[in-house]
Amino acid sequence: MEAIRNLVLQPEEEQKIRVALQAIFDNPKNKIVHIFSDIETAMSAMRDFVRNGEVIFFYDGDRFIGIVIYDVVNYWWSDKRFLMEVMILCVEPKCAGFGRIGVSILEDLAKEYNCVAINSGCIVESNKSIVTNMYKKAGYSFDVPAFIKEVKQ
């Protein structure tokens, strides 16, 4: 599988990403994402991530498989750099194991940007055990829980 940084989102890639994201957004098992997601906002952000060079595109030959979106951040409590995973997204329904591939490239990116650690997690996947096992198998530890609470207006 080939990993490429593109600075332009091609129409066929954009359409596959849109379809994959919409399927996630339409899943009622992930309540917060299901209720509050907006595909146009997400696609606008996606184009920004691509323009900023923060997306790795994966291809199997000519077939577009998925993306990894990341950011390099400095947290308020440290003078060190951290790699933050924004999202790992498989756009090809017949591709098994893309999460493992996506997670494996994060360490390479962290080294490339001289980051001391990787902050990963997944707000868009409703199956917590799949996500937890995927990260644990890649050497991640569950150190800091994250909680989400819907605020009623």
pLDDT tens track for 3-41 = 999 888 899 999 999 999 999 999 998 888 889 999 999
Query: Could you tell me which residue, 23 or 146, shows the higher pLDDT?
Result: 23
Report the pLDDT value the prediction gives residue 49, as an integer from 0 to 100: 96
Average pLDDT, the chain: 88
Question: b vs e for 82-97, b when ≥16 Cβ sit within 10 Å of the residue's Cβ?
Answer: bbbbbbbbbbbeeeee
Query: Could you tell me which residue, 131 or 33, shows the higher pLDDT?
Result: 33
Has residue 135 got a pLDDT over 80? Answer: no
Residues contacting residue 32 through CB under 8 Å, at least 6 positions apart: 123, 148, 150
Report the pLDDT value the prediction gives residue 106, as an integer from 0 to 100: 93
